Amino acid sequence: MEKKKVSGIMLTLLLISILTSTFNVKPVKSIWTGTVYIRADGSIDPLNAPVTTYDNVTYTLTDNITSAVDGIVVERDNIIIDGNGYTLNGSKAEYYTGIKIPGRYNVTIKNLNIQNFYYGIYLEYSSNNTISENNITANNTYGVSLSGSSNNSISGNNITNNDDGIGLWDSSNNNISGNNITNNAYGVYLYGSSNNTISGNNITANNAYGILLGGSSNNTVSGNNITNNFVGVHLGGSSNNTVSGNNITNNAYGVYLYGSSNNTISGNNITNNDVGVYLYGSSNNTVSGNNITNNDDGIGLWDSSNNNTISGNNITANNAYGILLSGSSNNTVSGNNITNNDDGIGLGGSSNNNTISENNITNNDDGVYPVYSSNNNFYHNNFIDNTIQVYSYASTNTWDDGYPSGGNYWSDYTDMDEKSGPNQDLPGSDGIGDTPYVIDENNQDRYPLMAPYLVPVHDVAVTNVIPSKTVVGQGYSLNINVTVANQGDYTETFNVTTYANTTTIQTKTVTLTSLNSTTITFNWNTTGFAKGNYTIWAYAWPVQGETDTEDNTLVDGVVLVNIAGDVSSVIPGVPDLIVNARDVTYLILLFQTTPNSPNWNPNADINNDLIVNARDVTIAVLNFMKTFEDP
């Protein structure tokens, strides 16, 4: 009987174990409500709040928090708030904030879900703070808002379904990078804010603007994927900004400048928008080195958009105009490849005194289409196989640069070159046709070129990217050698940026003479990067007038950010994601090796000082038996 009783108890315990394992039964917790204060002295108020700290530096959530007012208010500098995957949930009550950071310095907010507040995160007069790896959704106004705040980093967050994603007001020198910013009204909004960087973000399906700069100057918008917004990038009353290296596709307007001056739009891929680049009442801007294809209109200058430079762009297969100037004067259009559009270049509404030179204008329905626009100067262009080379209406323009500079090349010009001189009445050929190319009674090219004009090119490229390590300990560094080349005809000064996934590592400036190359060394400090694999790539920022930008980007190499000290494994080259005796032994075997040693392994040089020594062994010992999953 006793034996049966014991067997019954064991069977019951086994069934309980199976059921618990199968259904993962956990005790039900009550929902904690209210506001959590992290006081200036490091204390947590109230004491029963689901937040813990052991050092008054790192504050970790232990449960979800629901609040009808503010969620967490930070009154202490130099701390980390780790959401630990938990959620701050608000009531959308007016002006209340998920995390409020007033007048604070060096606060990190990470791994937190913040939803249903008026503001998700609000920084006011705060600097050197980090907001990373959070999910910030369904807040009534801004997911993240900065007011009078500088030198902050907003990176790697998922910011979706808010009224506006990220807003900066009178804030400078902030970095917004590597975020997913989708399904908001405005993705990123800067007002009166300068010297900020918006890079490597995915900014898609925002109802109004992907990025809006209002009254803001000296900002950089680079390397972003900006798609399916109403306006991709909008500059209103903003000056001296750079929009470069972005993928801007499937928006109503790709880049829209309104009343803005001295901005640079360069090296972007601008495709499948209703209008690729649209300038309205905007002057002294540069649009260069972009790929502008398959839009309805490629580039449009409207309503006194004067003194702009449009150069070195690839403008192809746009449904209507490649370039349209309407009521805009004194612009320079040069060195562009303008092909397979309905109209190559259109001028209307008294667009006068523009210079159009050194362009390839080929295979368009109308090469150039001036209407009520005069005193423009066309020279050194190649008009090749357009259905109508020039359609001119009520316009009188100049079609050459005088003698001996010459006019344009016309693929349908059939006369001979047997004479020379200003009047083409001297013996000997000079590369200029002996008779003018006649467009109509008011327009003729007096000195048509007999061969296509060879346009000198601007062209830089990245030719090699080599990380010094394939595995780097989290918090330690490695070097990245990037080789860049000047493949063009001019001496160029340009920036080169390295990236880990979409996060900027470092930018350096290089000057190269024509047909020369150099190798630049970048240092990547992985402090603040989560463990995992990172794709390493480099980008040479396009120079003014550059059209070949495909080779400006080179992706080459994957680096694992790992637990520091995991330098060996059973399978060579495949980390086993634990620091154990094998790693310590391996470091001892490589003791005192340097890059000149035949058995040198840069992965074993944990602290990147170019020698494997006691410092590296000590790092491994301090992390002994830690794994990739450990914090």
Q: Give the residue-averaged pLDDT of 409-423.
A: 97
Give me the pLDDT at residue 1, please.
43
Band (pLDDT 50/70/90 cuts) for residue 313 is very high
Band (pLDDT 50/70/90 cuts) for residue 319 is very high
Task: Give the integer Cα–Cα distance in Å for 87 and 62.
Answer: 10
Q: Give the residue-averaged pLDDT of 494-505.
A: 89
Cα→Cα distances 307→226, 237, 301, 335, 354, Å:
28, 17, 11, 16, 9
Cα–chain center distance at 317: 25
Q: Give the residue-averaged pLDDT of 18-22.
A: 37
Tens digit of pLDDT for each residue in 54-92?
999 999 999 999 999 999 999 999 999 999 999 999 999
3-class secondary structure, 318: coil
pLDDT exceeds cutoff 80 at 574: no
Task: Give the integer Cα–Cα distance in Å for 495 and 486.
Answer: 12
Tens digit of pLDDT for each residue in 340-399?
999 999 999 999 999 999 999 999 999 999 999 999 999 999 999 999 999 999 999 999
The overall pTM is greater than 0.85: no
Tens digit of pLDDT for each residue in 40-52?
999 999 999 999 9
> What backbone torsions phi and psi does residue 475 show, to the nearest 5 degrees?
95, -5
Contacting residues for 515 by C-beta, under 8 A, at least 6 apart: 486, 487
Band (pLDDT 50/70/90 cuts) for residue 30 is low
Tens digit of pLDDT for each residue in 257-304?
999 999 999 989 999 999 999 999 999 999 998 999 999 999 999 999
Give me the pLDDT at residue 31, please.
83
Encoded tokens for 89 = 């949930």
Task: Give the integer Cα–Cα distance in Å for 164 and 343.
Answer: 38
Name residue 479's beta-bridge partners.
523
Tens digit of pLDDT for each residue in 506-521?
889 999 999 999 999 9
Give me the pLDDT at residue 170, please.
98
Q: Is 554 left (phi over 0), alpha (psi -120 to 50) or beta?
A: beta
In the 8-state DSSP scheme, what is residue 312?
Answer: S
Band (pLDDT 50/70/90 cuts) for residue 17 is very low
**Strand bridging mode 382-384 / 409-410:** parallel
Q: Give the residue-averaged pLDDT of 131-158.
A: 96
Q: For residues 201 and 221, is the Cβ–Cβ distance under 8 A?
A: no
Give me the pLDDT at residue 320, please.
96
In the 8-state DSSP scheme, what is residue 103?
Answer: S
Task: Give the integer Cα–Cα distance in Å for 492 and 473.
Answer: 37
Tens digit of pLDDT for each residue in 522-559?
999 998 888 999 999 999 988 877 878 889 999 988 99
Give me the pLDDT at residue 11, please.
38
Per mean pLDDT, which range of 28-32, 41-45, 144-148, 346-350 is the poorest?
28-32
Please provide the DSSP assignment of 578-626 as one string. Answer: B--HHHHHHHHHTTT--TTSTT--GGG-TT-SSS-SHHHHHHHHHTTT-
Task: Give the count of beta carbons closer than 10 Å to the beta carbon of residue 251.
Answer: 27
Tens digit of pLDDT for each residue in 159-192?
999 999 999 999 999 999 999 999 999 999 999 9
Give me the pLDDT at residue 608, please.
95
3-class secondary structure, 6: helix
Residues 432-464 as b/e (b if ≥16 CB within 10 A, e otherwise) read bbbebbebeeebbbbbbbbebbebebbbbbbee
Domains delineated in the chain: 274-455 (no CATH), 460-561 (2.60.40.10), 563-631 (2.60.40.4130)
Smallest CA-to-CA distance from 463 within 538, 387, 373 is with 538
**pLDDT averaged over every residue in the chain:** 92
pLDDT exceeds cutoff 80 at 27: no
